[in-house]
Each structure stands twice: as C-alpha cells, then as structure tokens.
A = this chain, B = another copy of it.
Amino acid sequence: MMKRMPTDVKLLLQEGAELTDRALETLIPSIETIPASIHGAMRHSVFAGGKRLRPVLSMQAAVAIAGTLPKGIERLGAALEMLHTYSLIHDDLPALDNDDLRRGKPTCHVAFGEAIAILAGDALQTRAFEVLAGLDAPPPAVVKIIALVANAIGTVEGMIGGQVLDLESEHIKPTPELVAAIHRAKTGALIRVSVVAGGIYAGATPEDGTRLDLFGRKIGLAFQIVDDVLDMTEDSAHLGKTAGKDLAMEKATWPAVYGVEQSLRDADDLVKEALAALDPYGDRAEGLKSIARYLVERKN
C-alpha cells in the first residue's frame, strides 16, 4: 500500500508505478486474446518501462485532497498511462518522428510493423476512455474527468495540437511564444489534467481544482523544459531513447531559445511557483511536492 506521506520520492514513484502496472496488467487484454498481434503490440509499448509519472501525479493529487489514496484510483492512472503511450507510439511512426528506440526498446512499429502500431495506438486511446467510463466514482465526476481528459489530448491547446505545432515547427526558427505553446499543449496538458483528474476523483471542490490546475500547469512546463535539456546533455543509453534528436531535427525546444542555463533556472522557478499553489494542503500535499522537486532534479 502506498504511504500517505512518503519522505522518499523514489519509493513513492516506485510504489505508484507498481500499482499502475498491476492495473494495466488486468486492463489490457492478454496476448492470448484474439487478435493476439494488437494486444502484443499494446503491451510491448505500455510495459516498456515508463516512469508512470502521470498516474503517480493523479494518485498524489488525490492524497492531497482526500488525505488518503482513494480506492480504485490506479485505474485512472492506468488510463492516463495508456493515453501517454498511445501518443508515443504514433509520435514514433516513420511519418512523424521516425524513431526506432524508445525507453531502450525497439519502438512499436519496428517490433510489430506500421499497420499494427497505428492500430495499437488507436486501441490504447479507445481502451483508456473505456476504463475512464468504468471508474468507481459518482457518474458526474466520471463525466467531468472524461471531458477534461479528452480536451487535454485534443487539437485545441491539447496534446494532438501540440504534436502538430511541433511537426510544423521543424526547420523554422523557434520563437519563445511558439515553444511555450508547443510545450503547454504537447506534454503540458496531459500532465496538468492528470493532477486535476486525480483531485476530482478524490472529491475536489472547484477551488481545489483551480489550485491543482495551476500546480499541474507549472510542473508540466518544468518537466518538458528539463526533458529538452536532457535531450541535449545526456546520451542515448542513459535516456533510453535517441538523444540529440531535437537538435538534429531542428525542433523548437526551450534550450534552443533560451540556452541550457536559463532553461534550468526557468524550470526551478516554475517548480517553486507550483509548490506555492499547494500551501493550503500542508502535509497532505507532501507527495505531490516531492514529485515536483524530483522533476527538475532527475537525470533521465
């Protein structure tokens, strides 16, 4: 059982990841289920060793609101992770980023072919919404969570919109506004909604929602800035994905606009602002706060 206020963020992340993995194990059909290829492909990418950051954020947001981990919240986390994985599978396709390596393993289309990879991404999105619809929360809260999550992964300031901006920004000189818009949409929106959805699952009031949203927005941007910096400063083996890719593809990144040092300062400032938003929750938000601090200190 996850501790309410763990002092060790590594342990908190590990326990959250284990809870999430057990839920994913039961929620994604086995490779014995026909058609086997698609379930094999979904599992290949979902169980490639992600940090389960979004699920852990949803869990700790719930703890900040309810003081304890609500029953069944790991299913919300599993759905968020399926959505994240679907976006990675499609982003890695030859027609998009054309990446062969992800989390140290062959990407889905390398392992299963393009057709199955496209359908596996599709299916993870579908299954995520099915899992959300089955959440053990009052129907109005479930509907609210589905609406917010769908919005966060959509085209208007959501994940897909961010992917399109990212694609279309290759090989053009990035402006600060463009980079901020890409980050806010492409990775920021899903991280932000993970925090908010966890809160709603635990019975958050609208005021709680506003605070969690602010926290989620700040750490979402900080996370992506650090990701961009790591892509420039670490090697592929360490990251478990192709390093230096952003520079090679002339992607619009934070360090490309501001440089590495200023980027790291910006990430630090964002995390400080995020932590301040959680002041009203005192010790109950300690888990959430420790993840925010971890995001800027991590090395992969």
User: Hey, which chain B residues are within 8 Å of A147, CB to CB?
Assistant: 130, 133-134
Report whether B129 and A150 are in contact in the complex, using a CB–CB cutoff of 8 Å.
yes
A contact residues, range: 35 or more
CA distance A142 to B37 in the complex (A): 32
Q: A123 and B155 in contact (CB under 8 A), knowing A38-B160, A165-B35? A: yes
Closest B residue to A122 using CB positions: B160
Q: A90 and B122 in contact (CB under 8 A), knowing A95-B114, A154-B127? A: yes
| A88 beta carbon closer than 8 Å to chain B | no
A16-57 at interface with B (beta carbon < 8 Å): 29, 33-35, 37-39, 42
State the Cβ distance, A300 to closest chain B Cβ, in Å.
Answer: 27
Name A's B-contacting residues (CB within 8 A): 29, 33-35, 37-39, 42, 86, 90, 93, 95-96, 113-116, 118-119, 121-123, 125-127, 129-130, 132-134, 138-140, 142-143, 146-147, 150-151, 153-156, 158, 160-161, 163-165, 167-168
Number of copies of this protein chain within its complex: 2
CA distance A116 to B167 in the complex (A): 9
Q: A35 and B153 in contact (CB under 8 A), knowing A118-B93, A139-B139? A: no
